[in-house]
Amino acid sequence: MPIFGLTTLLAIIAIVHAIKTGRNQLWISALLFLPGVGVIAYLIVEVLPELLGGRTGRTATRAVGNVINPNKSLEEAKRDYKISATARNAVELADIHCEKGQYAEASKLYKEALTGLNEHNPDTMHKLATAEFELNNHDKAKSLLDTLIEKNPDYKNQDAHLLYARTQEALGNHEAATEEYETLIKYYTGPEPHYRYGVMMENLNNHDRAQELFKSVKDKADLSPKHYRSMHKEWISKSRARIQ
> What is the helix (H) or strand (E) element at residue 38, kind and residue range?
helix 35-42
Q: What pLDDT band is residue 70 in, cutting at 50, 70 and 90?
A: low
Domain extents for the chain?
Answer: 1-69, 71-133
Q: What pLDDT band is residue 97 in, cutting at 50, 70 and 90?
A: very high
pLDDT over threshold 80, residue 33: no
Predicted pLDDT at 239: 98
Q: In terms of C-beta distances under 8 Å and separation of at least 24 residues, what long-range contacts does 22-31 make, across chains too?
A: 24/68, 24/69, 24/72, 26/68, 26/69, 27/68, 30/68
Distance CA 213, CA 192 (A): 11
Count the Cβ atoms, other than its own, within 10 Å of residue 204.
14
Predicted pLDDT at 184: 97
pLDDT over threshold 50, residue 1: no
Predicted pLDDT at 19: 72
pLDDT over threshold 50, residue 50: yes
pLDDT over threshold 80, residue 49: no
Distance CA 105, CA 111 (A): 10
More confident residue, 179 or 68: 179
Find the helix packing angle between 3-20 and 26-33, rounded to 10°.
170
The candidate with the shortest Cα–Cα distance to 112, out of 133, 88, 135, is: 88
- Give the range with max mean pLDDT: 40-44, 113-117, 140-144: 140-144
pLDDT over threshold 90, residue 206: yes
